[in-house]
Amino acid sequence: MGQGISQAEFKPADFQRFQTRLGEETGRLAEWFHAGYFARASGVGGFELEGWLVDRAGRPAPLNQAFLARLADPLVVPELSVFNIELNTPPLALHGPALRRMHADLESLWQRCQRVAAELNSTVMLIGIPPTLRAEDLSLEHMSSQARFRAINDQILSRRRGRPMELAIHGEDSLHLTHPDVMLEAATTSFQTHLQVAASEGPAFFNAALAASAPVVAVAANSPLLFGKRLWQETRIPLFEQGVALAGGDASDDQSHRRVCFGSGYVKASLLELFEENLAHYPSLLPADLSEQPAERLPHLCLHNGTIWRWNRPLLGFGKNGEPHLRIEHRVMPAGPSIPDAIANAAFYYGLVHGLAHTRPPISATLDFARCRANFYAAARDGLQAEVMWSDGRCLPLRQLLLESLLPLARRGLLALEIDHADIRDYLQPIAARIDSGRTGARWQRDFLGAHGSDLTDLTLAYLERQRSGLPVHEWPC
C-alpha cells in the first residue's frame, strides 16, 4: 500500500518544506552512491500479491477492514479499495530451494486468507481485473480509510483542476469513459516482484528488467476484460496509466515523465539517476511532515518515490542493522491465475532478468530504448501474439523469441543462481506450456466466453473454481 502518512490536507508551505527536504535527501543519497555505502548482497527476491475479496456470486465484496481485523497478520495489508488486500511473504536469497519455499510460504498464507474470507461468506480472488467489476464499484465510498489514499486522490484532482479522469482503451472492443476520481487504479491488481541488487550491478539489472517487461507481461497476461469490454491482453497497463494521469500537472507532459510510465531511458551509471529524475521531473504529491522519522532513513525521498509508479521502479530499503540496500520492483505482472502460476511467473522473471543482466554486449547497447518500450506496449496489448524487435535487429513473433531464446536464457539464469534443478524444471514448465499452447489467463478468459457465452458471472465463478483447484492455467478446462 506504500508508506503511510497521518495527514491528508496540505498547505503551500508544506510543499516548500518537503521539496527542501527531498533535495537534501537526494544529495545525501548521491553521497552514499559515491561512497559505496550500500549493502553488497544481491540476489534476494520477494514479492507483493494483490487480491480481491468477492462474494459468493463473484461480485467485489467491500470487506477488507473486517477481513484484516479478523486475520490480524502484518503480512496482509489494505490496498486502495475496500475490495482489495495485499499479501506479502518474507524475502529469500535466490538460491537452492528458494522457489519451493516461496511457493510454500505463499500457499500457507493464501489458505489462511481463504479460511478467514469464508467466515465472512466471501473468498479471495487472484486476477488482474475481475470480470464482474462495474465502474460504479470504483467510488470514493469504497476507498480504504488510510490518509495516504485520500491525499493522493485530492492532490491528483487538484492538479487536474477538478477534471475527471479520461479513459480510452482500444482492443477488440473500445472503451471510452470519464471517472471522477483515482479509484480506477483499484481495478489493477498485480503481482510485484522485488529483487535486491548491489549498487554496482544496479544499471545492468534495471536495464534487464526493462527489456524483460515485454516477454514477462505477455506470458503473465490475465486482464483481458474491463466493464464487459474485450480490450488488451493485459488491460491493467493502459488502465493504470490513464487512471492516475495528471494531464499536464507534472513538470513535463512528456509521456516518459508521466506518473505511471515505462520510463525515460536506460540507466547509464547508477540507479541514482532515477532518484535524481524524481526530484527534477515529479512535483511532490504527499508533502507530509516526516520530521519525527529518522533522517538517516531518507523518509521524504522514499515517500516521494512511492508516488511515482514506473513499471520498473527502484526502491531504497534498510536492513535490521540500518544498512541501506537497493531493490528493483517489477510491476508489470497481474495477480493470478493460480498460486503455482504466480511462482512460475516469478521464476521466469528472476531467471530472465539474471540472464539478461549478464548478457554481453549489454542489452542496453543492442536494443534501442524506444524499441524496448514499444515491445512492452505491443506485448501488453497483443500478449503472446505480439510482434517484437529484439537485440539482433530481427522483428519476429514474441512466442518464437520466447521459445528460441528467452526461455532457455531464463533457465540458464536460474542455473547461474544455483536454484535447485528440479525446481527450475517444475516452475519453468508452466511457462513453456503457456507459450506452446497460447493459454495464458487472459486467453483462458476469452476462450471461456467464446465457448459459453458472454455471462460475466458464469466466467467469474468458473475462474474461481479452477483457481481453487490449484492447477496452473494451461491445464484449466474451458
Q: Is residue 5 part of a domain?
A: no
Domain annotation covers residue 3: no
Q: What is the DSSP letter of 213?
A: H
Do the domain assignments include residue 2? no
What are the start-end ranges of the H helices in 221-245? 236-243
| Range name among 1-10, 92-101, 235-244 with the lowest pLDDT average | 1-10
- The answer as to whether 23 is a domain residue is yes
For the beta carbon of residue 222, count every other beta carbon within 10 angstroms. 31
Distances (CA, A) of 356 to 208, 210, 344: 5, 10, 18
Percent of the chain residues past pLDDT 70, beyond the cut: 97
Examine residue 1 and state whether it is found in any structural domain, yes or no: no
Residue 322 DSSP SS3: coil
Which amino acid does the sequence have at 209?
Answer: A
Would residue 228 be called left, alpha or beta, if left means φ above 0 and alpha means ψ between -120 and 50 degrees? left
Is beta strand 84-88 parallel, antiparallel or unpaired with respect to 44-55?
antiparallel
Reported as a single tens digit per residue, the pLDDT across 343-367 is: 999 999 999 999 999 999 999 999 9
State the first-to-last Cα distance of the chain, in angstroms, to the nearest integer.
Answer: 34
Confidence of residue 231 (pLDDT cuts 50, 70, 90): very high
**Number of domains present in the structure of the chain:** 1
Q: Note whether residue 19 is domain-resident.
A: yes
Residue 333 parent element (H or E): strand 324-334
Q: What pLDDT score was predicted for residue 255?
A: 64
Asked, for residue 111, whether it belongs to a domain, the answer is yes
**230-257: average pLDDT:** 79
- 311, 316, 320, 323: CA torsion to nearest 10: 140
Residue 94: which domain range? 12-473
The identity of residue 32, as a single letter, is: W
HSE (side-chain half, CA atoms, 13 Å) at 271: 28
- Sign of the dihedral defined by the CA atoms of residues 183, 346, 108, 77, in that order: negative
CATH number for the domain spanning 249: value is: 3.30.590.20
Q: What is the DSSP string of 270-297?
A: -THHHHHHHHHH---S-----TTS-GGG
Q: For the chain, give the number of residues.
A: 478
Q: What does pTM read for this prediction?
A: 0.96
* The predicted structure's pLDDT at residue 3: 67
Q: Per the domain annotation, does 105 fall within a domain?
A: yes
- DSSP tally for the chain: helices H, then strands E: 16, 14
Mean pLDDT of 183-202: 97
Task: Find, among 201, 207, 194, the residue nearest to 93 by Cα.
Answer: 194
